[in-house]
């Protein structure tokens, strides 16, 4: 499994949060809402989630962890020898 660069995740999360604040300040502005939804979609794709809120939470969690913690939280990604398997199968 490929993991996104933390710098890109941080950048997209900041973008999403900034547009979220703008959208909450101007909920009737169609252009702001559309850009907010676009930023949410980008975060969803980056984090592999279907919901922007879940993607933002996953991004925050990912940015708090290191690679070892991430692998420990998803043991199916590692084989018994500790090496990554192509399809997640041991």
pLDDT tens digits along 7-16: 999 999 999 9
Q: Which of 47, 50, 51, 24 is nearest to 36 (CA)?
A: 24
Per-domain residue ranges of the chain: 6-68
pLDDT tens-digit readout, 68-77: 555 555 555 4
Q: For residue 62, what is the enclosing H or E element?
A: helix 52-64
Q: How far apart are CA 51 and CA 53, in angstroms?
A: 5
CA–CA–CA angle 25, 31, 33 (5° rounding): 50
CA–CA–CA angle 11, 12, 16 (5° rounding): 120
Mean pLDDT of 47-73: 84
């Amino acid at each position: 499994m490929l993991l996104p660069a933390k710098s890109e995740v941080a950048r997209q999360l900041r973008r999403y949060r900034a547009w979220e604040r703008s959208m909450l300040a101007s909920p009737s502005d169609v252009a702001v809402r559309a850009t907010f939804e676009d930023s949410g979609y980008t975060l969803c794709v980056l984090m592999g989630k279907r919901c922007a809120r879940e993607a933002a939470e996953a991004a925050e969690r990912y940015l708090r962890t290191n690679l070892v913690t991430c692998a420990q939280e998803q043991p199916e990604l590692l084989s018994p020898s500790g090496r990554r398997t192509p399809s997640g199968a041991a």
